[in-house]
A and B are shown apart, each in its own frame.
Chain A
């Protein structure tokens, strides 16, 4: 098998793994995930965020173990474990998943824009513009993609401090009593939480682009931890701010919290917040597209600069197809479900198969 080593110039330092993980995990989901997780486990749902987050830590570890053992990326793992043809099929499925992840982020962000800022705007128009911006970054190569994720964290993090404004209107007794739900409720909440944590698995593709990749493990774990903290804080804040009944009616709980933010020079923050959120959404789209083109290059040896156009076209067509709330909700649900099975079943499965294969080979060659 041929492992195409990326050019020295496009490698990034290990600590950027932190930003890549965070920027991919935080996206459109954080604007309204509270309602979904509260559906099953009510005011205790913030604990499901933590449970899901801890599981993600384990999965990140598994990914690193997979990648360290194979020395390549997901495509080479597939090839090692399943052979060339079956491996290619699996890689293509992952490609589709990446495209759909990009589409989910894109279309949901457009919906936020349509609902909150410009009700009359065409999805395909603004979609085209956003896809173009994404193209500009992807075509710059992995270094630019990484830089974008770095700026995403830099620009996005200060928005957390806006929670202060909601604090004044919060009832923290809402969070009590603790552990007031059944285990099944927590499980359902954790499952609903997965879509928000999706994205770290893109690591499987950009791993070879990190200098000295094995040493980036701790940074990835810190990244996952940072995301976990942000989601937990947001969930805690929202549950203290909203009554449970009110939360059921609030689709975009985080954006609705921004409504209460008031500065002497800004009366209503949500318009600025949603615009700034572009920088948080872009890495989601950009990294996903980059991963998709990378898979195409690895499996079918099609140059990334060519394969990006059909992918962009797919995304744009997606903007046409997914028109109303029901469709977008369905898109979110399905991608969430696929992602759930991908990270909780497929990655562990790969992990186990690789262990077995390595054992078998190990007994044959005594040393790998």
Chain B
């Protein structure tokens, strides 16, 4: 009998020290959070939360946006809480937005607090918006999805196509690591849509420069190996041609001769041409011609981009990181001095294998 009493009391004790519950429907799940510049040291945060209306039978998701201003991100949470019927949960954040004005001032504090929160995932996207994030989150769009879902899917599918691979982990990788600088997609509201307008480039924690959406894929060719996406190239006589990428590979050839570094990027693209706009595509010499033109244009564009980065002293491609892996006793102090003036050449190789199903 005594044994059972002991067990009973132990069980009671144990049930008393259980963790705090977070029942799914009793949590305000934040889908997207946006940070705006309010004043010199005030940040305004907007949290877009999907909310179910219409009961369990004809449930529809709706987007509700809470926003509040505060100095630190923890106190923002408190301010936001003051408006919400349920406690906020940050575990479902899919996209984090920063207003361009705020990003230019630096986002160290916000990143630091997001990084520490164990419930924030690493597979989530960061992006810079042209204009207030609050406006972007509250606006109605023609797309069927609610804004947080729309944003997530938008970035996700463009990462498959045009813009380079990026998420919170990659951001952290460059943000904390030496020898590379982070970048994010740049978003803007355009009529009844949200549009990716390019890439926002950071110098550590500050947004300093951007490249256009068209240039993003050139950046992507230099940044990673991938298998999708397409780009339009200008041919002679104002004709245009679209190259669809089937497989692209990039290799960095870094040489450090007597303290003067030099870099050559080898890009190898296998692709097909779909939209040739009147160019003949069945003669081998024509194809070689086209390949040559594309190569020339791509090399020029790529070198132009690298030059732009060097001028701004930013390294979104992670050239420094790659250089480190090639050189013994590498110091970033030296590298930072050499980087802006380092000669970089791009040498691409285009291989057109298909041209659609008709000749």
Whether A and B touch (Cβ < 8 Å) is answered with yes
Stretch at the interface among A85-93, A190-198, A256-264, A306-314: A256-264
Are the CB atoms of B122 and A246 closer together than 8 Å?
no
Residues of chain A contacted by B19 (CB below 8 angstroms): 117-118, 120-121
- Asked if A122 is at the interface (CB within 8 A of a chain B CB), the reply is yes
Would B325 and A249 count as touching, CB distance under 8 A?
no
Interface check B327, CB cutoff 8 A = yes
- The answer, yes or no, to whether A69 is at the interface (CB within 8 Å) is no
Please, which residues of chain B bring their CB within 8 A of the CB of A243? Answer: 173-174, 176-180, 321
A129: interface (CB < 8 Å): yes
Q: How far is the CA of A246 from the CA of B178 in the complex (A)?
A: 9
Q: Which one of A129, A246, A259 contacts B173 once the chains associate, using CB atoms below 8 Å?
A: A246
In the docked arrangement, what's the CA distance between A270 and B91, Å? 12
Contact of A256 among B91, B122, B329 (CB under 8 A): B122
B172 at the interface (CB under 8 A from A): yes
Of listed B16, B115, B172, residue having the most chain A CB within 10 A: B172
Shortest Cβ distance from A180 into B: residue: B328
Answer whether A259 and B177 are a contact pair too, CB < 8 Å, given A128-B14, A177-B326, A249-B115.
Answer: no
Contact A177 to B173, CB < 8 A, known contacts A115-B118, A171-B321, A243-B180: no
- A116 CA to B121 CA in the complex, in Å? 12
**Which partner residue on chain B sits nearest A248 by CB separation?**
B176
Q: Does A160 contact B (CB under 8 A)?
A: no
B123 at interface (Cβ–Cβ under 8 A)? yes
Is B292 in the interface zone, CB < 8 Å from A? no
Contact with B along A241-278 (1 / 0, CB 8 A): 01111101100000010011010000110100000000
> Is A260 touching B177 in the complex (CB atoms < 8 A)?
no
Partner of B20, one of A120, A176, A249, A267: A120
Q: Which residue of chain A has the shortest Cβ distance to B22 in the bound complex?
A: A118
Residue B170 interfacial (CB < 8 Å): yes
Chain A residues whose C-beta falls within 8 Å of the C-beta of B257 in the assembled complex:
none
Q: Tell me the chain B residues, 4-34 only, with Cβ under 8 Å from chain A.
A: 10, 13-14, 16-20
For chain A, the count of residues having a C-beta within 8 Å of the partner chain is 35
Residue from B13, B177, B327 in contact with A246 in the complex, judged by beta carbons closer than 8 Å? B177
- Taking CB atoms, residues of chain A closer than 8 Å to B312 are none
Would you list which residues of chain B between 95 and 133 have a CB under 8 Å from chain A? 115, 118, 121-123
| Given contact pairs A243-B321, A244-B178, A246-B177, A180 touches B329 in the complex (Cβ within 8 A) | yes
CB of B304 closer than 8 Å to a CB of A: no
Query: Please, which residues of chain B bring their CB within 8 A of the CB of A169?
Result: 165, 169-170
Bound together, the chains give a CA A116 to CA B173 distance in angstroms of 21
A121 touching B17, Cβ below 8 Å: yes
Mark A121-144 against chain B: 1 for CB-CB distance below 8 A, else 0.
110111011001000000000000
**Interchain CA distance A122-B14 in the complex, whole Å:** 10
Whole-angstrom CA separation of A313 from B40 in the bound complex: 55
A300 contacts chain B at the CB level, 8 A cutoff: no
Q: Does B322 contact A (CB under 8 A)?
A: yes
Could you list which residues of chain A lie within 8 angstroms of chain B, going by C-beta atoms?
A: 115-118, 120-122, 124-126, 128-129, 132, 169, 171, 173-177, 180, 242-246, 248-249, 256, 259-260, 262, 267-268, 270
Closest 8 CB pairs of A and B: A243-B177, A125-B17, A118-B19, A176-B325, A246-B176, A245-B176, A173-B325, A259-B122
Q: Which B residues have a C-beta under 8 Å from some C-beta of A?
A: 10, 13-14, 16-20, 91, 115, 118, 121-123, 165, 169-170, 172-180, 318, 321-322, 325-329
22 contacts between A and B (CB under 8 A): A115-B118, A120-B19, A121-B17, A128-B14, A132-B10, A169-B165, A169-B170, A173-B322, A173-B325, A176-B325, A177-B328, A243-B178, A243-B321, A244-B177, A246-B172, A249-B115, A259-B121, A259-B122, A259-B123, A260-B122, A260-B123, A270-B118
Given contacts A122-B17, A171-B173, 15 further A-B contacts (CB under 8 A): A116-B118, A120-B20, A121-B17, A124-B17, A125-B14, A125-B16, A128-B10, A129-B14, A169-B170, A171-B318, A171-B321, A180-B329, A243-B178, A245-B178, A249-B115
